Copies of this chain bind each other. A is one copy, B any other.
Amino acid sequence: MAVDGTEQRALQYEQTLMYGRYTQELGVYAKEEAARIREDGRHRRSVSDRGPPLKLLEYEKGRCVRCRICAVHCQRFLMSRVGEDWIFLILLGLVMALVSFVMDFCIALLLQAQKWMYGGLDSNVILQYLAWVTYPVVLISFSAGFTHIVAPQAAGSGIPEMKTILRGVVLKEYLTLKTFVAKVVGLTCALGSGLPLGKEGPFVHIASLCAALLCKFMSFFGGIYENESRNIEMLAAACAVGVGCCFAAPIGGVLFSIEVTSTFFAVRNYWRGFFAATFSAFIFRVLAVWNRDEETITALFKTRFRLDFPFDLQELPAFAVIGIASGFGGALFVFLNRLIVQFMRKQKTINKFLMKKRLLYPALVTLLISTLTFPPGFGQFMAGQLTQKETLVSFFDNRTWTKQGMAEDFNYDSHSAAWKHPQANVFVILVVFIVMKFWMSALATTLPVPCGAFMPVFVIGAAFGRLVGESMAAWFPEGINTDGTIYPIVPGGYAVVGAAALSGAVTHTVSTAVIVFELTGQISHILPIMIAVILANAVAQSLQPSIYDSIIRIKKLPYLPELGWGHHEKYNIRVEDIMVRNVRYITLNSTYRDLHEILMIGNLKTVALVESAESMILLGSIERAQLQALLTQHLSRERRLEFIRDRVDAERKRVSVVSTPSSEEGGQKVNHEVRFQISTEESSFTPARPSSPKPLKPALKKTSAAEKNIEIPTSDSGIGLKNLLCARPQTDAMEREVQLQADLID
Contact = CB atoms under 8 A, between A and B. Distances in A.
B309 A302 contact: no
A537 B271 contact: yes
Contacts of A274: 510, 530, 534
A296 B259 contact: no
A266 to B, nearest CB: 6
Contacts of A262: 267
A84 B530 CA distance: 21
A523 interface: yes
A229 B570 CA distance: 12
A524 B521 contact: yes
Contacts of A41: 572
Interface in A559-618: 562-563, 565-566, 568, 571-572, 574, 576, 615-617
Given A258-B267, A527-B285, A563-B268, A534 B275 contact: yes
A85 interface: yes
A562 B271 contact: no
B267 A296 contact: no
Q: Which of A278, A482, A483, A698 has its CB near the most chain B CB atoms (within 10 A)? A: A278
A320 to B, nearest CB: 11
A312 to B, nearest CB: 6
Given A85-B565, A262-B267, A295-B482, 16 more contacts: A30-B574, A84-B568, A85-B568, A230-B571, A265-B265, A265-B266, A278-B530, A278-B534, A285-B527, A297-B311, A302-B307, A307-B307, A307-B521, A518-B523, A521-B524, A616-B698
Given A566-B85, A571-B224, A266 B263 contact: yes
Contacts of A485: 295
Nearest to A230: B571
Contacts of A285: 527
A299 B568 CA distance: 35
A83 interface: yes
A298 interface: yes
Given A313-B289, A527-B278, A527-B297, A265 B264 contact: yes
Nearest to A34: B574
A526 interface: yes
A517 interface: yes
A229 B568 CA distance: 12
A82 to B, nearest CB: 11
A522 interface: yes
A540 to B, nearest CB: 12
A729 B566 CA distance: 43
A483 B290 CA distance: 13
Interface in A486-530: 510, 513-514, 517-518, 521-524, 526-527, 530
Contacts of A513: 251
A27 to B, nearest CB: 12
Given A265-B264, A295-B482, A310-B298, A526 B518 contact: yes
Interface in A251-283: 251, 255, 258-259, 262-268, 270-271, 274-275, 278, 281-282
Interface in A616-662: 616-617
B271 A267 contact: no
A329 interface: no
A534 B482 contact: no
Nearest to A85: B566
A666 to B, nearest CB: 46
7 contacts: A84-B568, A85-B568, A227-B571, A230-B568, A250-B526, A289-B313, A298-B524
Contacts of A259: 267, 270
B313 A565 contact: no
A729 B308 CA distance: 74
A78 to B, nearest CB: 16
A706 interface: no
